Amino acid sequence: RDQASEAARLEAYGESLDSQGQERLIARTLELMEDQQQANSVETLALLPQLSLGDLEHGIDFHQAQATEIDGRELLVSELNTDHISYIEIGFDISCLPSKYLPWLDLFGSIVTEIGTSKMDYMHFAREIGTCTGGFSHNFQCHVKKGGKGDFRPILWFQMKCLPEYQERAMQLLSEVFSDLSLQDRVHIQEIVVRDFAWTEHGAQSEGYNLPTALAFAQISKAGACNEMVSGVTNYRSSKELAHNYPQHEDAFLAGLKEMASAIFNRNNLTFSITANEQEVSTFTKLCGGLITALPDTALTKQELILPKLPKHEALITSAEVVYAVQGGNLLPEGKGYNGHFEVLKTYLSRDYLWNTVRQMGGAYGCFIQFSHISGNFAVISYRDPQVRKTYDSYANMSETIKNLDTPKEVLQQLIIGTYGNFTPLQASAAKGVAARNEYLNGITAEFKQQRIDDIISTTVKDMRSYAEAFASMQANSHRMIIGNRAKIEADKDLFDTLGEL
């Protein structure tokens, strides 16, 4: 049914009820609402099959990347059984890139992986990539250093995977595209710009929570601000203007791409990472020299990140029928006070408190948390939510809920087991390699991870309650960001400093 026919059906049903029927309906509704607020009893939960804490393994053999150098360039190696597939990652530190180019960085990455070189047009390049590799892609990450007081390395990563017999040719392709990128095919570059924005626009309508989340984190850290410019609202609006008015921006855009390539593709920006078997790792290390020498060795200057000026509480209007309500802040400054106990609390908030208040009683499709234990930045995000004020009220009540938390032993045990599973995932070799790479760059050690596991297993309700004050402090200094339906947002517009079209 569509919305209008459903509303008409409900109205007709309401009119068909006499006064006693209406009273019975109200009574049943109140009974259901009361039942929703009651926690499941220990006896009810005991009917489900479950593990015990005794089933959990304490000592975990965490994989770590091994760091070495090739011609003075950092190389991170994860020697794992990959069935002889090489997962190659070439990273370029973009600290040398002026802030004005950050909104174009994702487009730049797409163009690099598709456009070809002066000797290979994009179709020839695509055939070579398809023949010699299992794919060529890019992504951007800000690697925040643990204990680094907000210091971070912004790296544009290019990923490629290949079989042993194609490894040499795959590395040659990388060398050629990084040293001889062609920007002559104006037609195809415009096609990439328009296509990528169409994907971005669709994502903003269907999975739009990433944009307000990026805005929230941009308020509380430099790394968050950098991410926002690369993949948040700043990027969205820049890409929209470029795609909709490409002819008038074309010359400036192409000139910008040339400057970006000149600044980024420099051997002094390089970081190598590989996940592969021993034999393929050995071959890779011998091939890296060719890529290094293909790149210029000019001196680079780190650019100062120019932070955007953002309203504290912002609403973005789209044509969606629902909203994505975000509230973010710095919960644990520089990660101080973080341990495995917090992760158990996070599991409780996600799977119990927010599930009940925002999803079941509020009607949202879901509600979840994003948290960095390095920076201590925290955001809670509702998914396809019909509510605005009611959801933010639930967020505001988290500190009081934590303060009064009283979880039975049996329930706590299941929270611990669920949390434990998040930190001992079953991963394929490629995923292990990426995780190990990120952990090395972030300064995360196996000892830290083992201590976190020990803390998770030993968590008590008192440990969880100890974070109530931190949540209360964050609430007073948090940022509300929302995206979605105009009518729903305007009904509670006093919650926001600005309302604007996306």
In the CATH scheme, what is the code of domain 42-60+311-501?
A: 3.30.830.10
Q: Which pLDDT score, from 0 to 100, does residue 106 have?
A: 98
CA distance 260 to 314: 31
CA distance 182 to 440: 34
Domains in the chain: boundaries: 42-60+311-501, 66-294
| DSSP-derived 3-state class of residue 82 | coil
Cβ count near 395 (within 10 Å)? 24
| DSSP-derived 3-state class of residue 444 | coil
Which residue ranges of the chain lie beneath pLDDT 70?
1, 45
Say how many CA atoms lie within 13 Å of 425 toward its Cβ: 8
CA distance 327 to 164: 48
Written as one string, the DSSP assignment of 422-459 is HTS----HHHHHHHHHHHHHHT--HHHHHHHHHHHHT-
Q: Which pLDDT score, from 0 to 100, does residue 1 have?
A: 60
pTM higher than the cut 0.85: yes
Q: Which pLDDT score, from 0 to 100, does residue 5 have?
A: 86
Q: Which pLDDT score, from 0 to 100, does residue 54 have?
A: 84
* Fold match flag (42-60+311-501 vs 66-294): yes
Q: Which fold has domain 66-294?
A: Cytochrome Bc1 Complex; Chain A, domain 1 (3.30.830)
